[in-house]
Amino acid sequence: MTETRKLRVFLCHSSQDKPIVRELYQRLNAEGWIDPWLDEEKLLPGQNWDMEIEKAVETADAVILCLSNKSVTKEGYVQRELKFVLDIALEKPEEAIFIIPLRLEDCNPPRRLRLWQYADYFPASGREVAYKRLLASLKLRQDSLDIQIYGNILNKNASVGELPDNKLGVKTIYFGKMEYVQVPAGKFLMGSDDIEIASPQFEMDIPYDFWIGKTLVTNEQYESFAIDDGFSFRTKNGMESLPVVDVRWQDAQDFVRWLNKIYQADLPLGYVFDLPLESEWEKASRGTDGRIYPWGDEFDREKCNVHESGKGNITPVGMYAPYGDSPYGASDMAGDVWEWTRSVYRIYPYAESNGQTKHNVTDLLVLKGGSFFNLAKNARCAFRNRARAENSSDNLGFRLVISPKK
C-alpha cells in the first residue's frame, strides 16, 4: 500500500562528530523527501532521551551510521545505540537497505558492520560523490517501501484559487528540493500604526490560496540554476544550506523563470512560481491575528537571527524551526537576511491590484524580514524596507511563492 510521507532516516553518531553530522542533517532535510532524525533537532526539553531515541530507531526506514575514529573506539552511549540499531536490523528482510555505514574519516568499521557496504564521506573533494551515492541508496529504500513523495499530491487540474484540500494532513509540497507551506485565502491585518513606514494598519484581503517557501532559497538550490543557466556561481563546501545572498532583483526573477520552465507543468492550473507580493509575504509571516513577530507578540532572541541574537552573520535556513516559525510553518521570516518581494513601494493603505507589480527603473521595491545586521524592530512582520532592483547586498536574499499567475 502506497504511503504519502517522507522517508524517516535516523543519524547515529558520536557527539564529537556533531558539526559534520549537523551539516549532513541539513542537506538531507533540504532534499524535501527525507525526514532525518538528529537528537539536537528532534528532542524536546523534558523528553526521556533513551525512550525517544529507541522510538526513533524503531520507526526509522533507514539508519545512517556515522563512523569515525572517535565513534568506533568510544565506549558508552554510542555503542549502546549501535547495538540497538543492529538488533532492529535483524528484524528486517535480508535484502532491505536499512543500515548504511558512512565513514566520516579513515577508520576501521566495527566487525559487526562489515556485512554492509560503506560510503566514505571524506576527503572533502569527494564528499559530493559520496552524498549522491547515499541519496541513491535512500531512494532505493524509499521505492522498496512504496513511499510517495509529497510533490505528487498536487492536482494539476485544480483551478486558480482552489489548491488541493489538505485531506491527508499534508501541509507542504516540494519542487526543486524546496519545501512550500500553504497559506489559505482570506483577510488579515497588514501594517502597524506604530511603524511610520508601515502605517496605518489596514485590512487586506487575499482572495486565493497560495504556497510560500518554507525557507529562503539556499546556495545549493541557486547553484543548480546557475549550472543549468551557464554562469559561474558555485557553492563553497559547508555553505550549501545558507541562504543565497548578493542577488539583485533580476537575478531572483531569472531563478523564477528557470523554475517555471522545469516545474510549472506540475502546478495547479493557473499557478506559477514567483517572488511574493508584499501582502503575501506579510500574511505568511503573521497569520490573521496581527501578531508582531512570526511566533507571537514578544521578541525572543532565541527564535531568530537579528542583531540582538549576537550571531553576527547569516545562519543556515531552518535553524530556528519550529520555534521561530510563522503560524503557517514558514521559517526565518524574522531576521537572517532581507527578502525581495515583487511589490513596488507605495504609501499605505493600497490595493495590490493598483499597479503594485509594474515598476519602472527608478521605482523602489519592498524588502521584508530584517537581517542579522539589523535590530529586532526591523524584523517585525509589518516592517518594510526598500531597495532598487539593481541593488544587492550580503544580507539580501529571497524566497518564492506558488500563486495565481497575474
Q: Which residues contact 273 (CB under 8 A, 6 or more apart)?
A: 175, 256, 259, 260, 263, 264, 267, 400, 401, 402
Cβ neighbourhood burial of 244 (10 Å; 0-12, 13-18, 19+):
buried
pLDDT at 360: 67
pLDDT digits (tens, 9 = 90+) for 16-52: 888 899 989 988 887 778 899 999 888 888 889 889 9
Kindly state the cell numbers that stand for 358: 509594474
Which segments of the chain have a pLDDT < 50? 150-170, 354-355
Q: What is the pTM of this model?
A: 0.64
pLDDT at 2: 62
